[in-house]
C-alpha cells in the first residue's frame, strides 16, 4: 500500500490537504497521482514537467508553483509527497 499526500500551502502553512491510497508496493505514476489529488482537492491540474517527474522518482516528492498552472491559483505551492509506511521495529 502506498499513500500520497497532497498539500496546498499559503505562506508555509497548509491550507488544505488530502491523502490518496494506492494498492501495490511502488508509487504510481506522477500523472495519475496529480490527477487524483487535483480532483480530490478541487483545484486545476498543473503542467507536469520533466523536472517534476525526476523529483518524484528520485526524492518521492515534488512541488508545483503558480508558474506550473495555466489558471490563476490562490495558494503559493502544491506539494506532492509519498508517505512512507512505518514498520515495526524488532526488539
Domain boundaries, the chain: 2-83
pLDDT-derived band at 27 (thresholds 50, 70, 90) equals confident
Tell me the pLDDT tens digit for each residue of 39-56.
999 999 999 999 999 999
The reported pTM is 0.87
- Backbone φ and ψ of 21, nearest 5°: -110, 135
Enumerate residues 6+ apart whose C-beta is below 8 A from 50. Answer: none
- Percent with pLDDT over 90 in the chain: 84
pLDDT-derived band at 72 (thresholds 50, 70, 90) equals very high
- Backbone φ and ψ of 64, nearest 5°: -110, 135
- Report the b/e string of 68-84 with b at 16+ CB within 10 A: bbeeebebebbbbbbee
Is residue 87 pLDDT above 70, yes or no?
Answer: no
Amino acid at each position: 500500500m502506498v499513500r500520497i499526500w497532497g498539500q496546498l500551502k499559503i505562506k508555509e502553512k497548509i491550507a488544505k490537504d488530502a491523502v490518496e491510497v494506492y494498492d501495490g508496493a511502488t508509487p504510481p505514476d506522477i500523472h495519475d497521482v496529480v490527477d487524483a489529488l487535483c480532483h480530490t482537492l478541487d483545484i486545476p491540474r498543473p503542467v507536469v514537467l520533466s523536472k517534476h517527474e525526476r523529483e518524484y522518482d528520485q526524492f518521492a516528492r515534488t512541488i508545483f508553483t503558480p508558474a506550473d498552472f495555466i489558471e490563476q491559483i490562490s495558494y503559493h505551492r502544491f506539494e506532492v509527497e509519498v508517505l512512507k509506511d512505518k514498520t515495526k521495529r524488532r526488539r
